[in-house]
Structure 1
Amino acid sequence: MTGAQTAAQAMVAATARLRAAGVADPARDARLLLAHAARIEASRVTLIAPDELSAEISERYEQLVSLRAIRVPVSHLLGEREFYGRRFKVSRDVLDPRPETETLIEVALSEPFDRVLDLGVGSGCILVTLLAERPSATGLGVDVSEGACLQAGANAVMHRVQERADIAGSDWFDAVEGRFDLIVSNPPYIARDEMDGLSEEVREHEPRLALTDEGDGLGAYRRIAAGAPDFLMPGGRIVVEIGPMQAQQVSALFDATGLSDIRVVQDLDGRDRVVVARMPG
């Protein structure tokens, strides 16, 4: 790529390079990265296609494409990811917000709540979204990662819910006080022996702590199930994301600690994605 190229030529070259590197959707990524390099909305890339790229934009684009070719996620290169209609700042300290997690949001929003606890808050995408959608609610997000807490706090400020969102360092319930009518979590649920099967983007660039419990993938659910009854109000709900094959085991863990009305919700692809339970009233 050189400054003499038009935007269209640069995108064609970048697409070919990313395809050769094994990137799953090279044309889309080439477009997004060019928009970022040119500091314009992706929808406007077509408008600059005939224009010659400046040396500055061309150099920036070259660097972005080079990083994407070695599988640095697009979201990390852009510094953000869209989730439930909002943009969230992301980094190597947090798990990328994923579309399937929107199933958890839909379930959480299906009933009223006033006070929500997000266990393993990460980027803050779940807590911030819930508070943005329910302007009367308040919440607490906890995470063992200091970097994640900082990222969640920044996203709370960006979406103007910081006055209603507390972010704290905590190993699950260890530093949590009080009771909540909604507990949510997207915990690490990938078993250690499944890690090698993940894409390079996920395995090499997302925080391992947010992906796996270094065991059978159910360790976090055991902690959550054991603690939830002490922090849920009577009638309160707990909503957790799960791996597609974990519904039966997680449901059994919740049942064993006295939670009731346990059900499994599928995502848009028809896979088991969320387990919901209630604290008996």
Structure 2
Amino acid sequence: MKTLETIYAFGRQELRAAKIEEADLDAWYLLEHVTGVTRASYYVNPGRELTEDEVQNYQAGIQKRAARIPLQHIIGKTEFMGLDFFVNENVLVPRQDTEVLVEHVMSRADGKDILDLCTGSGCIIISLAKLCHIKSATAVDISEKALEVAKRNVANQEVNVTLIQSDLFEKVEGKFDVIVSNPPYIPTKDIEELMPEVKDHEPMLALDGMEDGLYFYRKIVDQAEQYLKPCGEIFMEIGYDQGEDLIQLLEQKKFTNVKVFKDLAGLDRVVYGKLQA
């Protein structure tokens, strides 16, 4: 009979052999997910015997992770801004870097009408709706399957968010105080260099920023003025080397006070602009 200790050792060994970067940690998270064990209960009783279902489910999870399927897809959730979000292969796994985007919007969010473009799992707009006193929340995505994930997360977090299937602004009506977006921004030529977990298991629709990675930024900036109220603001996540290009794009339109904010690693991560009155 397998015990917590022996099956955890098996998991670590398998993931190390597969050269998974955080093998021991991922093996633990899968054990926690399958058995409900906590660190404390594990150390008190590492010899606890597992049921046959637990053994099979753990081995299947380890096999998937060794095949580079993201851990978050296997366990079906991830944490973002202190909240749990359901995720699957139809959306990007929310990144810690994107929390920087949300934190900057939070300082401007109270009492505002906010539009989230390329919402994916909905993690950005749902976090704002949950953690701030915003007036209204609208989120769009071109992917019907992504919106199904967002809808589930809206229900799980018990927030009021209007979800629209739309190619950026195509089906959006009205004007907003704030537009926020984390659009696809990886140049097509760079996608092959991404980790297998990303390039093979996350939606290409959410990754590919076309030839130079700026395609969707150009489309958003070109139309943003029509959907922003006077003195409206825009916040967008950007790649580490795209700051100067985005500053130029925004300043060519009617945006002032354009600036770039850095993430915890000191890399450019968020661009901001305010529409001229």
Give the TM-score taking structure 1 as reference length: 0.95
Q: Say whether the 8 Å CA contact 1:234–1:280 is kept in structure 2.
A: yes
Structure 2 match to 1:224: 220
Instruction: Give secondary structure in 2 for the equivalent of 1:239.
Output: strand
Q: In structure 2, which of residues 200, 209, 231 is the aligned counterpart of residue 213 of structure 1?
A: 209
Correspondence 1:29 to 2:26: yes
Structure 2 match to 1:62: 59
Structure 1 residue 39: deviation in Å? 3.6
Runs of 4+ in 1 over 3 A off after TM superposition: 39-48
Structure 2 match to 1:88: 85
Structure 2 match to 1:247: 243
Structure 2 match to 1:126: 124
Structure 1 residue 149: deviation in Å? 0.9
Q: Say whether the 8 Å CA contact 1:31–1:45 is kept in structure 2.
A: no
Structure 2 match to 1:151: 149
Structure 1 residue 171: deviation in Å? 0.3
Structure 2 match to 1:109: 106
Q: Say whether the 8 Å CA contact 2:113–2:134 is kept in structure 1.
A: no
CA distance in 2, matches of 1:87, 1:149: 17
Structure 2 match to 1:263: 259
Cα deviation digits, residues 54-94 of structure 1 (max 9, x gap): 21101110100001000010000010010000000001110
Change (3 A) 1:217 1:41: farther
Change (3 A) 1:212 1:87: same
CA distance in 2, matches of 1:59, 1:217: 42
Change (3 A) 1:268 1:108: same
CA distance in 1, matches of 2:35, 2:12: 17
Letter in 2 for 1:185: S
Q: Say whether the 8 Å CA contact 2:92–2:206 is kept in structure 1.
A: yes
Unmatched runs of 5 consecutive residues or more in structure 1: none
Letter in 2 for 1:173: F
Structure 1 match to 2:9: 12
Report percent identity of matched pairs.
Answer: 36
Structure 1 residue 47: deviation in Å? 4.5
Structure 1 residue 49: deviation in Å? 2.2
Give the TM-score taking structure 2 as reference length: 0.96
Instruction: Give secondary structure in 2 for the equivalent of 1:187.
Output: coil
Structure 1 residue 41: deviation in Å? 5.3
Instruction: Give secondary structure in 1 for the equivalent of 2:185.
Output: coil
Q: Say whether the 8 Å CA contact 2:109–2:134 is kept in structure 1.
A: no
Cα deviation digits, residues 157-188 of structure 1 (max 9, x gap): 11110xx2100100011111111011000000
How many residue pairs get aligned? The number is 276
Change (3 A) 1:44 1:247: farther
Letter in 2 for 1:261: N
Structure 1 residue 48: deviation in Å? 4.7
